[in-house]
Structure formats: structure tokens, C-alpha cells
Amino acid sequence: MKTLDCRLRKCPGPVIETRKQLLAEPDTPLTVLVGDDTARQNVSRLALSLGCQVQATADESGFALEITPGAAPTTEATAPALGKTVVYVAADVMGAGDDELGHILMKNFIFTLAELETPPDAILFVNSGVRLTTEGSDVIEPLEKLACNGADIASCGLCLDFFELKDKLKVGRPTNMLDTVEQLTRAGRVIRP
């Protein structure tokens, strides 16, 4: 049995690492060590969705999750969306409320997006969202990974000019409103974090 120690990892780290391991070796039992109840719940839910059985044991450092492979759950097939999947990022924060939390959530969203088996076809950045594609951003590396996996990373040129960031673009390309509107109207699915 393999052991994955995620006790010091914050969300979404334990789920991403567990998913990688379960997909890489689907028939191998796995022990995942997590540091809190939220990680226990999230990792357990992932394992169950992949058809595994989970046994959790609490100790002083958190939880040990014994994950045993099982039969993959049967799911109803859904028709794929016609057209491309486009992620529309209109801010450098996710959600409304506390901006510090919003930055953390957006960072986690981009890192998690980069771990998907199938990346989106395009990620469009507008308004303060362009800060995520420019010098000083914490998410350049996962955005580069997404670009290498085929995602078109495009930042609004007017927005880059407005924030005086045009010369600081680190990943992707500048775009314009016509291209943005065309990509959104032709998309089969638009995701807005």
C-alpha cells in the first residue's frame, strides 16, 4: 500500500495529489494522510466518486484515509457541449466579500484548472483579471502549463493598457473585444469563476 502525506498541504492540494495517484495507479490501495476535517471530507468524496471505498481514522496529526479500489461508479452519459469551453476571468479575485480570500480562491482555481485532464479551449482575462497573466502574478506557472496543453490564454489589450501592464504580459497574448465577444458567443460552455 502506498502512502501519500498531505497533512501540510492546503486545499486543493490533497485532492489534486490524491486524484493524480488514483488515476495513475487505479488498482493500488492508497493511504492518504490529511491534516483537517475539510481535507478528509474532500478526499473521501473524490475517492468515492472514483468508485473506491474509504476508511478514515483520526489521530493527533489529522486523519489517515485508507482508500481501497473498487468498481468505477456508473454514470449517465451526458452529451458534450457543442463548441469550445471558454473560461471568462473578469477579476483577479474570485467571488465577492474579502479580497484576500478572493485572491486565494482565484489562485486555487487556476492551479486546479491546470490539473484537469482536459484543459479549457480558451481562458479570457478582462478588467483586473489581466493582472493574473502579468509580471508578479502567482499563477504564471499553471497558466503556462495550460497554454502548453492547448488552452488559448488571451488578455484584454485595453485592460492591459489601462493598468499599464502591456509590457509586463508574461503568458498568452493580448486580445480585443471583438475576439472576446466572438469566442464567448461561439462557445459551447462558458465558465466564470
List, for residues 46-73, the tens digit of each pLDDT value. Answer: 888 888 999 999 989 999 999 999 865 5
Over range 124-139, report the average pLDDT: 98
Answer yes or no: do 101 and 176 share one domain: yes
Answer yes or no: do 38 and 119 share one domain: no
Answer yes or no: do 95 and 35 share one domain: no
The residue behind cell 469550445 is 84
Q: Cis omega before residue 119 (within 30°)?
A: no
Q: Which residue has the higher pLDDT, 71 or 174?
A: 174
Domain termination residue (choose one: 37, 68, 99): 68
Residue 146 lies in a domain: yes
Answer yes or no: do 153 and 89 share one domain: yes
Over range 119-143, report the average pLDDT: 97
Residue 175 lies in a domain: yes
Q: For residue 79, what pLDDT is reported?
A: 55
Nearest Cα to Cα of residue 151 among 109, 185, 108, 114: 114
Q: How confident is the model at residue 112 (pLDDT cuts 50, 70, 90)?
A: very high
Q: What CATH number should be reported for the domain holding residue 118?
A: 3.40.1260.10
Residue 82: pLDDT above 90? no
Q: What CATH number should be reported for the domain holding residue 40?
A: 3.30.110.40
Domain, as residue range, for 169 = 85-191
Residue 80: pLDDT above 80? no
Number of structural domains in the chain: 2
Residue 18 lies in a domain: yes
Residue 73 lies in a domain: no
Q: How confident is the model at residue 74 (pLDDT cuts 50, 70, 90)?
A: low
Residue 78: pLDDT above 60? no
Q: Which residue has the higher pLDDT, 165 or 1?
A: 165
Residue 33 lies in a domain: yes
Answer yes or no: do 64 and 89 share one domain: no
Q: For residue 58, what pLDDT is reported?
A: 93
Q: For residue 191, what pLDDT is reported?
A: 96
Answer yes or no: do 107 and 187 share one domain: yes
The long-range contacts involving 52-60, CB below 8 angstroms and separated by at least 24 positions, are 52/22
| Mean model confidence pLDDT for the chain | 91
Q: Give the DSSP letter string of the chain.
A: -EEEEETTPPTTHHHHHHHHHHHHSTTS-EEEEESSHHHHHHHHHHHHHTT-EEEEEEETTEEEEEEE--PPPP----PPPSS-EEEEE-SSS-SSS-HHHHHHHHHHHHHHHHTSSS--SEEEE-GGGGGGGBTT-TTHHHHHHHHHTT-EEEEEHHHHHHTT-GGGB-SSEEE-HHHHHHHHHH-SEEE--
Q: For residue 16, what pLDDT is reported?
A: 85
Domain termination residue (choose one: 42, 68, 94): 68
Q: For residue 5, what pLDDT is reported?
A: 95
Answer yes or no: do 58 and 102 share one domain: no
CA–chain centroid gap for 153, Å, is 15
Over range 33-47, report the average pLDDT: 89
Answer yes or no: do 108 and 64 share one domain: no
Answer yes or no: do 90 and 182 share one domain: yes
Domain termination residue (choose one: 68, 93, 108): 68
Q: For residue 32, what pLDDT is reported?
A: 95
The long-range contacts involving 159-167, CB below 8 angstroms and separated by at least 24 positions, are 159/125, 159/126, 159/127, 159/128, 159/129, 159/130, 160/130, 160/134, 163/128, 163/130, 163/131, 165/130, 165/131, 165/134, 165/135
